Amino acid sequence: MPYPSTLAPVRFVITGSAGMLGQDLIAAARAAGHDLLAIPRAELDIVDGAAVTQAIAAARADVVVNCAAWTNVDGAESDEDGALAVNGAGAGNVAHAASASGAWTIHVSSDYVFDGTKREPYVESDPVEPLSAYGRTKLAGERAVAQAAGDRHTIVRSSWLFGAGGPCFPATILRLAAERDELNVVDDQVGCPTFTGHLASALVQIAARRPLGVVHVAGGGDCSWYEFAREIVARAGSSCEVKPCTTADMPRPATRPAYSILRSARGDEAPALPEWRAGLAEYLAAVSVGSTR
């Protein structure tokens, strides 16, 4: 059965709506004709369970999509408790409130729940073994959501998110390429860059099918950070030279999985996203339009 392209109008609640993915999800849901309540972090801290319950109960949602998260991967190494409060208990608070109000929960998780030792794409049934504090907190969130929402949840694992609505790898590369003649970028970490505009549309589709449990949804194709950076610089027409280096050459506080290509074994339950270069093209067009306003 093909994935439905449309969904009868429902009411979405989006937590963390001011973030990069949240902004694109607002646009995707509205474009599909849905009603929604967007709740930014400034208006609702998902760590506050009572406030979350009250807000979601009042919203009368059909689907609650949790885009709120601690996204500072390196910062989580020095404050794992802080990251866990948001990514773990906070995610559980949203799922509990959604379940109590009769809504379906869609929760966004990460490729960092894997250790990166596999050399073929990770699917939903593969064992999890996070290497970092961030990865551990995202896994805790998955478990909290599954426990709190029971049989009314979908956990969407994605990877290497980038979009026009916030800080991301392409934005950093564009900035550095304008400042420097040469960049060294890690070439021994491989993943699936995922444009948030494409992921947001997929989340709206997932709200139609509502598959239970974990679903992998990431950009088509794969590349290293070096290959991603080289493509960004080339498409921007920059003369900056991008050179490959190793992870050991550029140590970071948090250990990243060396291989985190995500694919789905769930057939039509998992929307297939366009290839990552198509996402990059849309991203560059969006930031170009934004810069001329």
Q: What is the mean pLDDT of residues 152-176?
A: 96
Residue 7 has pLDDT above 80, yes or no: no
Q: Judge whether residue 3 has pLDDT over 50.
A: no
pLDDT in the model for residue 291: 53
Specify the residue for token string 């009314």: 152
Residue 288: pLDDT band (50, 70, 90) is confident
Does residue 178 surpass a pLDDT of 70?
Answer: yes
Least confident range of 1-15, 16-30, 151-165? 1-15
**Thinking of the domain 11-164+194-219+261-273, which architecture would CATH place it in?**
3-Layer(aba) Sandwich (3.40)
Active site residues: 134
Tell me the residue type at 210.
Answer: R
Element (H, E) at 39: strand 35-39
Q: Convert the pLDDT of each residue in 81-135 to its tens digit.
A: 999 999 999 999 999 999 999 999 999 999 999 999 999 999 999 999 999 999 9
Q: Is the pLDDT of residue 12 over 60?
A: yes
pLDDT at 290 (0 to 100): 52
**109 with 87: CB under 8 angstroms?**
no
Q: What is the 8-class DSSP label of residue 111?
A: G
Question: Rounded CA gap, 84 and 48, in Å?
Answer: 13
Q: How many helices (H) and strands (E) does the chain have?
A: 10, 12
pLDDT digits (tens, 9 = 90+) for 216-262: 999 999 999 999 999 999 999 999 999 999 999 998 999 999 999 99
Alpha carbon distance 287, 283 (integer Å): 6
Strands 63-66 and 11-15 come out as parallel
Q: Domain coordinates of the chain in residue numbers?
A: 11-164+194-219+261-273
Tokens 């679903």: give the residue: 215
> Full-prediction pTM beyond 0.75?
yes
Contact 106, 64 (CB under 8 A): yes
Residues 16-58: pLDDT tens digits? 999 999 999 999 999 999 999 999 999 999 999 999 999 999 9
Q: How far apart are CA 187 and CA 227, in angstroms?
A: 7
DSSP code at position 267? G
Distance CA 278, CA 293 (A): 23
